[in-house]
Amino acid sequence: MEAYVLNETALILMASRLATTQNNLNDFFIVISAILVFAMQAGFSLMETGLVRSKNATNILMKSTLDAFIGATVYWLVGYAFAYGDGNEFIGWTGFALQGVSPNKISFWFYQTIFANTASTIVSGATAERINLPAFFIYAFLLTGFLHPVASRWVWHPSGWLKVRGVIDFGGGGCVHMLGGVSALVACLMVGPRIGRYDNKTMKKFAYRGHSNTLTGVGAFLLMMGIMGYNMSAQMDLSHPGDGVAVSVSAVNTLLAGSAGSIVATILGRATPTGSYRWSYNTMLNGAIAGMVSSCAACNAMPFWGAYVTGAGAGFLFFVLRAVINHLHVDDPLDAFAVHFGGGFSGMVSAPLLINTGVILVGDVRSAEVLGWQLVGVVVLIAWGIGFCSLVFGSLKYFKILRVDSCVEVQGMDSKKHGEPAYPAESWEEQQYWDHQAQRLVYSLSSEKLNAAVHGQKELDSIATIDLGVNNNFRLTGMPPQMNFAHLMLTDHFQKSLLSLENQHTGWNFITRKY
């Protein structure tokens, strides 16, 4: 009898320890995954910075960084309560500032906070180069504190009114990306295009190129890495049978969807006049992100071919939406609406069709009901985003705090608003080019070599020819020809050399281009 009691006690103890280990493992998985998703903030920062003009780079970096900190503050104060507090199927009303929230839920709060930040960050990119910073503070607080939390309760909370009716949104394709894309479109319409971007009289469009494809590319890779973490971690568990497989399937489907989106968008850019018949790097990147976004809705439950089809549809929809809003003179420097709304919409619509229990593979009454409610959910989320953001951005516009003054916009916000240009002129010291490159060039074209070069020619060439020779030699040595200091020094050196030689030889024609 005592042995039996001891064995039972040992089993209870082992079960308790196993449960503790499982809980710790799940908490660790959620926190580490959230940190991986946090890389999206770095991705947004770099990608947005690369796609705007250099005069606004610091402004973009500041807003992208503040998105994370404002988001953490407001989600701690009110957002989590609206999304996951005790309440009804539409909104929660307990747990403000995490009061009364179980310590076991802290990892979940951390994870959801990182998700919530994305909605505001999407808008920041779409309104880049003309949004006023006080307006940014206001909409970041409202979008992260109310717009997204309420929508996420509808589709993620166990008692959410869309969740209980079967709406599918595993990783936030609807309540994060599609909703963020709608918000970005409304914000762009309210704030208007950048000065000089469109000519409304002639309907002509002027390209405003971003200043660094390098930053854009690195940022896109970080963003894609974050989306993979997004979808993998949405399983929220690693301690039950099948969890590891679900995480792996989510990762693979995300990659496949991104691959399809990038290939479709790239081919469309090369094959159509909309893409200027070019192999566009930025189009390829945005197609890949749109494809990955499309997988968010049901990456855990789709066959691999279904994820690829979904991503291909997202790449196509992104390309079409970008062309449409550009034709309508809606200025979105990052194509945030086309990428996030196009990808999110594609994923939300295809999820009930292509999942393993969906309309195409099963085709029963239940799958048809899910499809119907899924379409209802899509319409509801779009309407929620349009209505709320129209009120927020319309109010900001009415009170004239939405957009910076035209003089600030033209001169750039880095110097006018922050006093910290990302590329200050004083840091570009042209002497470094003279010290390290130009003296070697001058030595190679010394008086003796000039003498040999010009001997026997008919006339002394003009200063323009000397300038052309200097520019050509700049290119040979890798120096930018517009470097004024080094350019003037070299020109002055050549002029003096030629004048000294003119006293010895007459009728020369110096051709510097051969050097």
β-bridge partners, 403: 131
Q: How far is CA 514 from CA 442, 444, 488, 499, 510, in A?
A: 15, 13, 20, 20, 10
Which of 121, 230, 108, 245 minimizes the C-alpha distance to 179? 121
Q: How confident is the model at residue 405, as a pLDDT?
A: 92
Does the pLDDT at position 257 exceed 90? yes
Mean pLDDT along residues 4-29: 80
Q: pLDDT confidence of 74, banded at 50, 70, 90? A: very high
Does the pLDDT at position 26 exceed 80? yes
State what percent of residues in the chain have pLDDT above 70: 81
What pTM value is reported for the model? Answer: 0.83
Amino acid at 67: D
Q: How confident is the model at residue 2, as a pLDDT?
A: 56
Q: How confident is the model at residue 378, as a pLDDT?
A: 97
Mean pLDDT along residues 28-53: 90
Mean pLDDT along residues 249-260: 96
Angle at 59 between CA 53 and CA 64, to 5 degrees: 110
Mean pLDDT along residues 293-301: 94
Mean pLDDT along residues 81-90: 94
Q: In 3-state terms, what secondary structure has residue 193?
A: coil
Tokens matching residue 448: 């003796």
More confident call, 195 vs 207: 195
Backbone angles phi and psi of 92, in degrees to 5: -100, 165
- The DSSP H or E segment spanning 51 is none
Does the pLDDT at position 344 exceed 90? yes
More confident call, 401 vs 469: 401
Q: What pLDDT digit, counting tens, does each position of 357-398 carry?
A: 999 999 889 999 999 999 999 999 999 999 999 999 999 999
Q: What pLDDT digit, counting tens, does each position of 404-456 carry?
A: 999 999 989 998 899 898 888 767 665 555 544 555 555 555 545 545 544 54
Q: pLDDT confidence of 507, banded at 50, 70, 90? A: very low
Q: How confident is the model at residue 348, as a pLDDT?
A: 96
Find the length of the chain: 515
More confident call, 488 vs 223: 223
Mean pLDDT along residues 497-514: 46
Q: How confident is the model at residue 356, as a pLDDT?
A: 92
| Residues contacting 306, CB < 8 A, separation 6+ | 253, 350, 354, 355
Does the pLDDT at position 343 exceed 90? yes
Q: pLDDT confidence of 276, banded at 50, 70, 90? A: confident
Q: Where are the alpha helices (DSSP H) in 51-76?
A: 57-74
